[in-house]
Structures are given as structure tokens and as C-alpha cells.
Structure 1
């Protein structure tokens, strides 16, 4: 091989190596970006953000009915938490699964009286965080305690909650909890929800 042929071969090899390295780097970068996008999609898809809002009543007795919020938190705690493949994939997306017990079950039906007419809104992908925020906002109305496993929690009435018998029309009387409410407030609330205190 001539001297010029040898030089041309070396130059050609160098160009091929340089292009090959750049192509390899570009492919590696594309793979990293693709994995990042897949991870982001997985995180947003399998660990969605939920919004919980408790609006106060517009009546004279400012109160917040917590039933809808508590039921929604409980329902959302089961999203991608069936114990199957969905939960395994959601676990990769950092989804936390909880088992909430409401004892007694009618703690769902808590009416919290408040001098602060502002609504409380919580946006989070973690239902325990949401529950803790409502526990803190309505201090003494709810108590969230650890259950018998690492992921189970018990929600029970707080020290400021009072159990009352409430009757809707001719239906049998049922229990509800009132928190931080005077006797007059309790009657106003019952009237506004179409019931009466028994």
C-alpha cells in the first residue's frame, strides 16, 4: 500500500470512529430521554394528583359537611391499588396505597362548624396527606391513627365531636357527628340538610 493510501486509510478510519462515537452518543442520549419521558408518563399516569375541596355552607351557621370529601379520599385510596399488576406498576411510579377504616362508619357524616368561612382545598397524589390536612384544618373533629399494618389507618371522631341522632323525613333516625357546633348551630344544620335532631 502506498504512503498516500495508508494516510487515506488512517483518515478514513478516524472519520468513521468519530462519526461512530457521535452516533453512539446520540443513540445513548435518545435512549436516556426516552426512558425519562416513559418514567414521567408512568409517574403521572399511575400516581395522579387528586383535588379535594370542602366548601362551607352559605347559611348563617357556617359549617362544612365532610362526608363527600372523606368518601372521595377513601375511594381514591383504591385507585391502582387492587393488589394486581396495576399496583405493582403504580408502585414503580411511587404510588402509595392505603386502607382506611372509619370507626364508627358514620364518622363520614361529620359536620364541622367554623368561624372561618374559607373553603379548604387539598391537591395531592397521597390520600394520607389529604386526610392529615383535613384533620389539621378541623382540629378535634377527626383523629387519624395508625391501624394494624404499615398502610392501614383508622379515622375516628375527635374530642370536639358530638354524636347526634338525625332523622330525614320518616326514615329511621341515624347517627351523625357535629364538631364545634352549638345546639342552635346543630338545629340550623339539620334544617338546612332537610333533617331534624332527635
Structure 2
């Protein structure tokens, strides 16, 4: 009789334990899902900020101090969405990485710029017209990619600094990463012929 009582209690114990585990799993899963919903989906592996966490935080502090802005200038409060200014800032940060410079290369503060800012504006316009990013031509401070070296020749010979980007479309196809149109190929072949290539 004692064995039968122990078997019956064992079955009850197993059933109660199973129910308790099931309830706990359900609670734990719903709590985890709720935490996931409340946790911003932010990664700190930002391609624009290099170095240790401390170095990246110091760069962000220098940038926000220089521009006189808070985090919510570029981010929503959960750090999950960029504001319009944040989207623009991402483009600026790509440029700063490609050029190997920081924000103070062009910015004095949020509304004041250094002399090279006009050239930067022209470069951003050129990038837009040609469908490229800064790293298409730039490989760090005062360094150019091979394609950037070729472009530099055209910039000098075609007076890009004074004449502007629109004249590039005389030889290039818009938003095609400097792909040549028919006239551009004629000019290139003529130049090759003159050089005996």
C-alpha cells in the first residue's frame, strides 16, 4: 500500500512539476519578448567611428560639442531612427572617413564653415550627379584611389573648381560612376592617340 501511495504521489509530483515548468517557460518567454520590444535595436559597430568604445565616445562628444547639438539632433530617443539631420550627418561621416578628417575639417560650428566648405559642397553635388560616394575617389587624407587620380586630371583640364559639376555630363553618364558617354569615349580615344597609346 505504501508503494502504491508513493507511486501516486510521484505521478502528482511529476504533473505539478510539469505544470510549473510550463508556466515558468511561458512567463519567461513573454518577458523576453517584451524586453526585446522595449530594447532599442542599436548596434554600436558604427562604420564611421573607429577605435575603442572610449575613443568612439570621445569622437561623438567632440562632434556634438563642435556643432552645439545633443544626441536627439540626429537620433530619436531610443536611438533606433535617424532624424533628417541624422541622415545628412551619416553622409557627412562617410565623407570624413573617406577623406580621413574629422568634422572640424569643414565646420566651425553648426552654421559656420571654413573656406573648404564650398569645395565640399561641390564634391557632394558631384557624388550625387555621378552616383558615387566619397570613397570612390578618396582613400584618406590627401590620398586618392586610382579612379580618383584619373578624375583629378579631368578636374584640372576641365576647370571643375570654377566651372562646376554639370559640365562633367558632357562626357559622363549621370549616376553611372563616371561611365563615359559616346562623346567621352571619343575624347578619351583622341587623348590616347595623342599620347601614342
TM-score, structure 1 as length reference? 0.32
Q: Which structure has the highest helix share of the two?
A: 2
Q: Which structure has the highest strand share of the two?
A: 1
TM-score, structure 2 as length reference? 0.32
Structure possessing the higher relative contact order (Cα contacts under 8 Å, 6 or more residues apart): 1
